[in-house]
């Protein structure tokens, strides 16, 4: 069990560029969550998957954001036409639905939009 | 709708002193409750969880929390603070809808004075 991993750890981009983040959950976990954390705040829910199905999206997830989990394993979060307000830490978590309700978090991807 | 309130954005204690971090929740159904710790530029680590078993929950690193339904509280305590406890602490609630997404408080930064 290597834990949840995220790549990259840091991303600096210019406004208007597209960025993509990757999350690899704990291998047997069937649920995967994305959260966003801005400075001085707690994480806020963005979306989640059960296996490959995206089951819920927050109102925070504008149409510039898209997430996928194509084979029920890793997930990607893409932000198109980035804005300065997108600067935040993007956290991924996974859990084993049906067995426990604990979510295990990755180290996060810190996005800075200049 | 569920919500979490953490009283005190900063708490300062002396090394060896009692740690008390406050968390109050709002939920229309019996919730699941969690405490997470976050060190600088890292993801969240689960300290402990309440999922309707024992109301006094013991976690890692000597932390414990007590679920008090009448007070809608889930305060985190540790008898004796250590310098390594200095971090940001987040209380989170999960309802029992199908998503089990986490709703976080705004966090409490614990400072430990030598």
- Write out the residues of chain B at the interface with chain A, using a CB-CB cutoff of 8 A: 4, 9, 32, 34, 36, 41-46, 49, 51, 90, 92, 94, 98-107
pLDDT at B101 exceeding the cut of 80 = yes
For A14-67, write each residue's pLDDT tens digit: 999 999 999 999 998 999 999 999 988 999 999 999 999 999 999 888 899 999
Percent share of chain B, pLDDT over 70: 99
- Give the pLDDT band of residue B42 (cuts 50, 70, 90): confident
Overall average pLDDT of the A72-94 stretch: 96
What band does B66 get if pLDDT is binned at 50, 70 and 90? very high
Burial of B33 (0-12, 13-18, 19+ CB in 10 A): buried
**CA-based nearest residue to A17, from A91, A84, A89, A88:** A84
Interface of A with B (CB under 8 A): 4, 6, 31, 33, 35, 40-45, 48, 55-56, 91, 93, 95, 97, 101-108, 110
Check A110 against B41: CB less than 8 A apart: yes
Of A44-58, B4-18, B19-33, B72-86, the poorest mean pLDDT is in: B19-33
């Amino acid at each position: 069990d290597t834990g949840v991993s995220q790549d990259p750890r840091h991303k600096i981009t210019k406004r208007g560029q597209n960025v993509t983040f990757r999350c690899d959950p704990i291998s047997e976990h069937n649920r995967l969550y994305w959260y966003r954390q801005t400075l001085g705040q707690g994480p806020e829910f963005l979306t989640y998957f059960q296996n490959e199905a995206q089951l819920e999206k927050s109102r925070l997830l504008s149409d510039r954001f898209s997430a996928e989990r194509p084979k029920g394993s890793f997930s990607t979060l893409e932000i198109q036409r980035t804005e300065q307000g997108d600067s935040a830490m993007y956290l991924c978590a996974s859990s084993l639905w049906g067995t426990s309700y604990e979510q295990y978090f990755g180290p996060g991807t810190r996005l800075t939009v200049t | 709708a569920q919500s979490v309130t953490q009283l005190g954005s900063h708490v300062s204690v002396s090394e060896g002193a009692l740690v008390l971090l406050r968390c109050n929740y709002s939920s229309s159904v019996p919730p699941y409750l969690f405490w997470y710790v976050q060190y600088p530029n890292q993801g969240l680590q689960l300290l402990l969880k309440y999922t309707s078993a024992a109301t006094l929950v013991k976690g890692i690193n000597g932390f414990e929390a007590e679920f008090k339904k009448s007070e809608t509280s889930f305060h985190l305590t540790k008898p004796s603070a250590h310098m390594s406890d200095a971090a940001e602490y987040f209380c989170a609630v999960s309802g029992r809808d199908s998503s089990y997404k986490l709703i976080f408080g705004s966090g409490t930064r614990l400072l430990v004075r030598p």
